[in-house]
Structure 1
Amino acid sequence: MPANEPLFQATQYLHALQSYWWPFCRIMALFGLAPLFSHRALSVRIRVLLALALTLVLARALPDPPAIEPLSLGALFATLEQIAVGLLLGLALQLVFVVFSLVGEVVSTQMGMSMARYNDPMNGVSSSSILSLLYFLLLALLFLSIDGHLLTVSVLYQSFVHWPVGSGLHYQGFATLAHALGWVFAAAVLITLPVVFCMTLVQFCFGLLNRISPAMNLFSLGFPMAILTGLLCVYLTLPDLPANYLRLTRDLLDNLGTLMRSGADV
């Protein structure tokens, strides 16, 4: 080797950094939508530090990335691919929280408490109902109690095993996501169905009483009774919240496993 030849070239450093760059892009994209990690209370600096720490821990255990020229169009497409996969996984993990957010909104509307809202910039929305906040707090505690943060890391690692860098995005991923969105609405309907039925029955009874006795003030009597009935229904259904959450989480993980295996088989 000539004496004036440098020991390391800049491209060698770029190729060495690729094994850290691809996981970092996917992890940061996942943290942008994953439950609790995407919460506004967790600042961007903390998310970046968590992503860097997780990248350093997982980089050596992940499959070797393909040899892609760092400063090329292929590297740009690979980076966008990692961001898309991370967003897809984060959105999939967020779906269970979305189910109970819909439950809170529907129950609040049926109770007539949809106007009782609070400013909620933490979740990226202008306002949320009080019951949605209640369900979110309970789900956050359940998420931490079942080591959901470790489960998120496990899903992230399995995604690199089944969807390595450069494998591309497949039709099955988008099809599964579309079916998952339908699954969200179906699960929310099934959970809210008992409460909605009870509230409809109460409103039907007061409507019938108003027809029998038109002089009775339906709003002054029916509105408080609807709220009390709704609170009673929420009180009776809250003990089933952990079981429903675990069942929905198990179904979600089964769908994710099927999605990853189908992507690996393509």
Structure 2
Amino acid sequence: MNALIPGGFAGLEAQLWLWLVAMIRPGAAFVAAPVFGAPQVPLQVRLVIALAVGMPGLAAGGFDLPAAGVVSPEGVLMILGEVLIGLAIGFAVQIGFSAALVAGETISNAMGLGFSSMIDPSTDQGTPALGSFLSVLGTLLFLSLGGHLMLAAILLASYRTLPIGGPLMGAEPLHDLVLFGGQLFAAGLMIALPVGFALILVQLVMAMLARSAPALNLFAVGLPAALMAGIVLLAIAAPVIADGIVLSLQAGLATAERIAGG
């Protein structure tokens, strides 16, 4: 059978295995990361980008296939290590991105829009309308910052510090990821603070009116007042909200860079 295989295709199987291994880490990161992991991004596009990012990293870090092959205990451990590194890097960026969703849900509840929801394009799940709006804003800010290019650079740098088949990622980067995940709600509340605090004051005014005029229909007056105040406050605080989202995205990228450093 070997005599029937042309000489030019003799190393094709090994080359295909190398391509497959090179795609694992970026592919896992893109599944968890924002923008790349959106359901609207075709799977074929993710595979092509993962191969384009993984091949230079594979060449920079140096790698040889296990002697027993990829389908072996050594190969399975290598694949699990690659998936863990990729998911940790992508999830760190996703945590920074999700602060916008938390802020949107907080502002929606304060405005009385908690009952309204729409499909978020980044998660394909139902979220409050303002959460979807801030998610789209976060996507545009992520792309304007060059976050997609920074993520690719972080993945390439990770091949030097965490080579394929080398020691598994230590416990300290995972501990940093867990601590950063605990800051998600704090970051979301900080983004929503300018609008949310003012809306709480509006609610207090409505409560005092209800006490002074018991016949006043709060559902007919309070909801439009909170909604109008929220729209005006969102327009006024838009630059501050954008700055908060940018800081959260930068913190996510910084955490991913620390994880890539091993």
Q: Answer yes or no: same fold by TM over 0.5.
A: yes
8 A contact 2:34–2:122 mirrored in 1: no
Partner of 2:22: 23
What's the counterpart of residue 74 of structure 2? 74
Alignment correspondent of 1:94: 94
Question: Is the 8 Å Cα contact of residues 99 and 187 (structure 1) preserved in structure 2?
Answer: yes
Match of 2:231 in 1: 231
Opposite residue 255 of structure 2, the aligned amino acid is N
Shift of 1:154: 0.3
Distance 1:124 1:253 in 2: 19
Identify the residue that residue 137 of structure 1 maps to in structure 2.
136
Offset at residue 57 of structure 1 (A): 4.3
Q: Is the alpha carbon distance of 1:37 and 1:256 closer, same or farther for their aligned partners in structure 2, counting shifts above 3 Å?
A: closer
Residue identity matched to 2:21 = W
Task: State how far apart, in whole Å, the 1-side matches of 2:117 and 2:153 are.
Answer: 36
Which residue in 2 is equivalent to 1:36? 35
Task: Describe the SS at the equivalent of 1:128.
Answer: strand
Gaps spanning 5+ residues in structure 2: where?
A: none
- 1:59 match: 58
Unaligned segments of structure 1, at least 5 residues: none
What is the identity, as a one-letter code, of the residue corresponding to 1:24?
M
Q: Is the 8 A contact 1:35 1:93 kept in 2?
A: yes
1:14 Cα deviation (Å)?
Answer: 6.0
Deviation for aligned residue 1:77: 1.0
Shift of 1:171: 1.0
Which residue pairs with 2:125 in the alignment? 126
Alpha-carbon offset, residue 176 of structure 1 = 1.0
Identity of aligned residues (%): 26
> Does the CA contact (< 8 Å) of 2:27 and 2:47 recur in 1?
yes
State the partner residue of 1:155. Answer: 154
Alpha-carbon distance in structure 2 between the residues aligned to 1:41 and 1:150 = 19
Deviation at 1:76, TM superposition (A): 0.7
Deviations 1:196-240 (A, max 9, x none): 221111111111111111111121111100111111221122112
Change (3 A) 1:254 1:48: closer
Could you tell me which residue of structure 2 aligns to residue 110 of structure 1?
110
Partners of 1:174 and 1:80 lie apart in 2 by 15
CA drift at 1:50: 2.1
Alpha-carbon shift at residue 17 of structure 1 (Å): 5.2
**Within 2, Cα distance between the matches of 1:241 and 1:229?**
16
**TM-score for the superposition, normalised by structure 1:** 0.86
Judged with a 3 Å threshold, the aligned counterparts in structure 2 of structure 1 residues 254 and 28 are, in CA distance, closer, same or farther, namely closer
Distance 1:144 1:126, change over 3 A: closer
Aligned to 1:182: 182
What is the one-letter code of the residue matched to 2:34?
Answer: P
Question: What is the number of residues matched between the two proteins?
Answer: 255
Aligned equivalents of 2:65 and 2:51: distance in 1? 22
The 2-side partners of 1:149 and 1:124 are apart by 17
Q: Per the alignment, do residues 156 and 51 of structure 1 end up closer, same or farther by CA in structure 2, a change over 3 Å counting?
A: same
How many angstroms does 1:165 deviate by?
1.7
